[in-house]
Amino acid sequence: STVHILPFFPFSSDDGFSVIDYLEVNPAIGGWQEIEDIAGDFKLMSDLVINHVSRQSRWFENFRNDEKPGKGYFVEADPDEDYSAVVRPRNSALFSSVETVNGERHVWCTFSSDQIDLNFRNPDVLREFVQIVRRYLDHGVSIFRMDAVPFLWKEPGTSCVHLQQTHEIIKLFRTLIEHHSPEALIICESNVPNRENLTYFGNANEAHIIYNFSLPPLLAYTLLAGDCRHLKTWMMSMPPAQLGTAYLNFIASHDGIGLRPLDGLLSNEERDKLVRRAQNAGGRVTYRRAREGYDKPYELNIALYDLLQGTFNGPENRLGFERYICAHAIMLALEGIPAIYIQSFLGTRNDLARVEHTGRNRSINRQTWLEEELESELGDPASVHARVFRELKRLLTIRKKQHAFHPNATQYTLHLGHEIFAFWRQSINRDQSIFCISNVTDKEKSICLADINLISIDLWQDLISGEHYQDIGEYLKLRPYQTVWVSNKSANESSES
């Protein structure tokens, strides 16, 4: 029901995240009319690339010439000061030297020398973004993804991440957006450890939605190891989102699989095991500069389909498709709102040629499709792309009919050993239960239905396979990587109730 279009503005690098002009649509892909047409058919999510702007933007050119708008718009600093406390998401230089009419200046670059950080101490910058948001609303955008928002405010002598001023800016934008369009939403992109990520809900007065950033690496680790203990521990520690807020569940995106959200969840040895598996599957690793001065793995750059074509025991394509579908079946059932990256929907493989062409690790999972090529692949029932697309579409069709999969419906972790990941969802009005049970190993497993406390007077059915269970004392056999959604209501019963 919702489409997220990645940055569609003129840009100079990072596949759109180095914006040259926030108020124009990249003419290579269309114009505002096309954006409005899409918004007419779907809820539309757009990126608000708020932390930085392109070096080629008019604002930065004016900054160099000491002219408005642009004068005072960028964070300047003395590179000889001590910035060891600053949390870095990259291992590139924190500052970039630039010649201006007033001589050499050093500007703050959290992500790259082409992406210059904006100075929100200047109220003119804030006013610019208020106007930008208003324009997006007028063009049909109803969900704003605040990109890289934890780094927004810089304060000397601090970590320059998650500062209180950043949270106040989010609150302000929420107030203004809701005043204009009560149905509009904010989602914060905060690729950080879980405890820090949760702060962006505020007191239900900041982001309406936050990404579940720990899920992608944890779920991948679970399926590669055939062991769900870490995933289960994390899930039990997650507070339910308040009504009116929600988690966004995903397992792949246009960025890599972030590793910082694993802090405190996996050991360094386990994290490194995941890194090696990605490298062995043809992936790349992006690093960040730690406070201690050395580089640490920041994200895995790899197509999810390739990452899951094997386990920690080595490459193994026999069950790769099943492992991949299992990952999505788990994600789709979790408390929150599911999101599927277009490349994952299509089962896209590593695009190593694009990495070679751009020189950027993230290009590995940003394939550009020709319409005819894609239609041909999806038209071939035997192709990986068609098989993945068909099965994920089927799961989504089933899921959307279930009241127990409401973003805020009850979720409770079940304990069926470390090889079976299971949890219970119950609809808000308590009329539907779904027991979501996944075999995370490459071996057949069995569980007794009595162990999950099925109510004997209800009729139980697996929503995915259609199989009915007459005896709640019987054993349920699960194929390698099979998921079942055992419900007391059929798909049609739930959608009609």
What pLDDT, on a 0 to 100 scale, did the predictor assign at position 492? Answer: 67
Residue at a domain's end among 371, 403, 435: 403
Shared-domain flag, residues 374 and 424? no
List all residues 6 or more positions away from 453 whose beta carbon is below 8 Å from its beta carbon.
none
Residues in the chain with pLDDT < 50?
Answer: none
Shared-domain flag, residues 371 and 455? no
Number of domains in the chain: 2
Q: Kind and range of the H or E element at 462?
A: strand 460-462
**Are the CB atoms for 79 and 95 separated by under 8 Å?**
yes
Residue 89 lies in a domain: no
Shared-domain flag, residues 133 and 172? yes
**Are the CB atoms for 172 and 123 separated by under 8 Å?**
no
Residue at a domain's end among 403, 428, 463: 403
Shared-domain flag, residues 367 and 437? no
Shared-domain flag, residues 423 and 378? no
Per-residue pLDDT reduced to its tens digit, 261-270: 999 999 999 9
What pLDDT, on a 0 to 100 scale, did the predictor assign at position 493? Answer: 67
What pLDDT, on a 0 to 100 scale, did the predictor assign at position 315? Answer: 83
What pLDDT, on a 0 to 100 scale, did the predictor assign at position 496? Answer: 60
Q: Could you tell me the residue range of the domain that residue 474 belongs to?
A: 409-496
Residue 84 lies in a domain: no
Taking each helix axis from N to C end, the angle separating 371-379 and 384-399, rounded to the nearest 10 degrees, works out to 80
Shared-domain flag, residues 186 and 215? yes
Backbone angles phi, psi at 448, to 5 degrees: -90, 130
Which CATH number characterizes residue 306's domain? 3.20.20.80
List all residues 6 or more positions away from 37 whose beta carbon is below 8 Å from its beta carbon.
none
Ramachandran region of residue 357, left (φ > 0), alpha (ψ -120 to 50) or beta?
alpha
What pLDDT, on a 0 to 100 scale, did the predictor assign at position 489? Answer: 87
Shared-domain flag, residues 435 and 393? no
pTM, rounded to two decimals: 0.96
What pLDDT, on a 0 to 100 scale, did the predictor assign at position 291? Answer: 81
Catalytic residue among 47, 114, 117, 147: 147
What pLDDT, on a 0 to 100 scale, did the predictor assign at position 219? Answer: 99
Nearest alpha-carbon partner for 423 in 485, 472, 476, 479: 485
Shared-domain flag, residues 198 and 267? yes
147 is catalytic: yes
What pLDDT, on a 0 to 100 scale, did the predictor assign at position 449? Answer: 93
**What are the structure tokens assigned to 263, written together?**
């802090």
What pLDDT, on a 0 to 100 scale, did the predictor assign at position 242? Answer: 94
Sheet arrangement for strand 257-258? 257-258, 295-301, 284-289
What pLDDT, on a 0 to 100 scale, did the predictor assign at position 226? Answer: 98
Shared-domain flag, residues 332 and 427? no
Residue at a domain's end among 368, 403, 438: 403
Q: Kind and range of the H or E element at 446?
A: strand 445-448
Which CATH number characterizes residue 481's domain? 2.60.40.1180
Residue 104 lies in a domain: no
Shared-domain flag, residues 362 and 244? yes
